[in-house]
Amino acid sequence: MLYVSTASGARIPALGYGTWRLSGTEAYDGVRTALDVGYRQIDTAQLYANEADVGRAIRESSVDRDDVFVTTKVWRDFLDRDGILRTTDESLAKLDVGPVDLLLIHWPNADFPLEPALDALREVQQAGKAKYIGVSNYPSALLAKAANHVELTTNQVEYHCLLGQGALLSEARARGIALTAYCPLAQGGIIADPTLQEMAAARGVTAAQIALAWLLGQEGVMAIPKSRNAGRIAENFAAQDIELTADERARIDALPKDGRTVDPPFNIPWDAPAL
């Protein structure tokens, strides 16, 4: 299993299981399957409304809780101190797996001052309710500002073969902060890419596995693919065993890098797309 280590002292399984848009039985079954396959990082969020299902799957799994790295996130509407403290307690009650390993601010929100929100996140950490803290959807300049105020473990952002994050990667690596790639398969968009298809066929694997191997082969990068299909959950996990050649990486690096798939109306200006 591949791991990523951070300046904050975290050692995290590089490949996790994402649960965005999974709920109820789908979320429960997906997490149970992922844990059975070998995943040891599970990602959820308040917004996903599946923390109870995710937590139950972890509790009822044969995998020891201490072996599972659990992440949840505070939604952008609750970034004052009281909101962060209250909703974190709600998340912990729903998950019912003890303290989380990682607590993130899900999206930045200019309506809430940055430093007090980070202070509240650190307060949760100091209270022993989250082992590590971090952010999500922070462009490089905002990440730098946040990291100057508190110690961050990761920044979770959309990142895949068709969307570059060069500026953010440089900033994160300089500070020992991991980059966690959500939507690492571009919500299925990479599957039809001719370059990835050709490379996958030559190796007898899937385009998704090639795309994940490209991410996991990068310094300080983690990925949290989601799938409802047990077979694909296992295939994604096996991507850790694929080591791309320099030529293969160069061909993927040369693909267009402006294919953002997540751009809500409250998104903030982002770094120019680049590798």
Query: Which residues are designated catalytic?
Result: 48
Tokens of 246: 């320099």
CA-to-CA distance for 95 and 117, rounded, in angstroms?
Answer: 22
| Residues 132 and 156: beta-carbon distance below 8 Å | no
**Paired strand residues for 71:** 43, 102
Tokens of 100: 């989380």
CA-to-CA distance for 79 and 81, rounded, in angstroms?
Answer: 6
Q: List C-alpha distances in Å: 45 to 91, 172, 173.
A: 8, 22, 25
CA-to-CA distance for 93 and 51, rounded, in angstroms?
Answer: 9
CA-to-CA distance for 47 and 21, rounded, in angstroms?
Answer: 10
Tokens of 127: 């209270």
Question: By C-alpha distance, which of 241, 228, 243 is closest to 34?
Answer: 228
DSSP 218: S
Question: By C-alpha distance, which of 200, 225, 242, 194 is closest to 30?
Answer: 225
C-alpha count within 13 angstroms, C-beta hemisphere, residue 177: 28
Instruction: Give the three-class secondary structure for 131.
Output: strand
| Residues 140 and 271: beta-carbon distance below 8 Å | yes
